[in-house]
Amino acid sequence: MTSIDGKIIQLPFRVDLESWRSYYHHLCDEYPDAKWTWDKGVEELDVREAVVKCTNTQERSMRGWMLQTNRTDDGEPSVMANSNVRPKQKYIELGLPLWSWRIDLPLGPVERLAESVPSVYRWTVYEMPANGITPTHIDDDENVLLIPLYWPEKGQEFLLEVDGEWQDWSDVFRADGRALLLDGHTPHWSCNRSNQTRVNIMARMPRTDLEQICSVKGVF
Ligand SMILES: [Fe+2]
């Protein structure tokens, strides 16, 4: 069994960066209203714990698009493994607006990769503006897929706390087609100290499903 405890690993597959960037620009141009911001999300997502921790604007500046890829055999959105995030059906039952998780937005290269790794869910296109901070947190029993689309060369920090020591993993992040997998069980912290927006694709998977994503090869 492969293990990534306390690490970030580079996965064996790559992405065609230009087509993934085109996908991102397509969202920017065609779906600006579907863009999630913290202020929109706080009302509708169960992020109470995060709200308590994220008290300043630097920690609440992340934004992006939330893509639902997993469906049942009937084509309906299926229940996600992470109970923090409600699938579309839950939004309907609860009478909440459906602005957030979109089943129509996983397109092109994202859709193709998602079909190859069906245990991966909670795909997001994630923007971290200049001076944004992701405060220290864990992602419970999940590993986190990270694909940098625009990653400023300077001013990026990404740290993991392993056995009480902070390790600097900043250099592993490059927008060159690489796909990374982060052990979400290890406390991590990140910031963007540049004057440019950082953009990446992020998705989650159960920690137990490491073999599936590590067996995928090729270019998407
Ligand atoms: Fe995280």
- Render pLDDT for 2-51 as a digit per residue (tens, 0 to 9): 679 999 999 999 999 999 999 999 999 999 988 877 766 555 554 444 55
Residue pair 1/210 in contact (Cβ under 8 Å)? The answer is yes
CA 192 – ligand 1 centroid, Å = 15
- The reported pTM is 0.85
CA 144 – ligand 1 centroid, Å = 7
Higher pLDDT, 79 or 134: 134
CA 147 – ligand 1 centroid, Å = 14
**pLDDT attached to residue 53:** 56
**pLDDT attached to residue 68:** 74
Residue pair 179/3 in contact (Cβ under 8 Å)? The answer is no
pLDDT for residue 111 is more than 70:
yes
**pLDDT attached to residue 43:** 56
**pLDDT attached to residue 216:** 96
**pLDDT attached to residue 36:** 79
Q: What is the bridge-based pairing of β-strands 133-137 and 178-183?
A: unpaired
CA 151 – ligand 1 centroid, Å = 17
CA 212 – ligand 1 centroid, Å = 20
CA 161 – ligand 1 centroid, Å = 12
Measured CA to CA in angstroms, residue 102 lies from 35, 60, 67, 181, 201 at distances of 10, 21, 5, 24, 15
**pLDDT attached to residue 96:** 47
The CATH number assigned to the domain with range 8-219 reads: 2.60.120.10
CA 182 – ligand 1 centroid, Å = 8
Helix (H/G/I), strand (E/B), else coil: 105: coil
| φ, ψ (nearest 5 deg) of residue 172 | -75, -15
Higher pLDDT, 193 or 94: 193
**pLDDT attached to residue 116:** 92
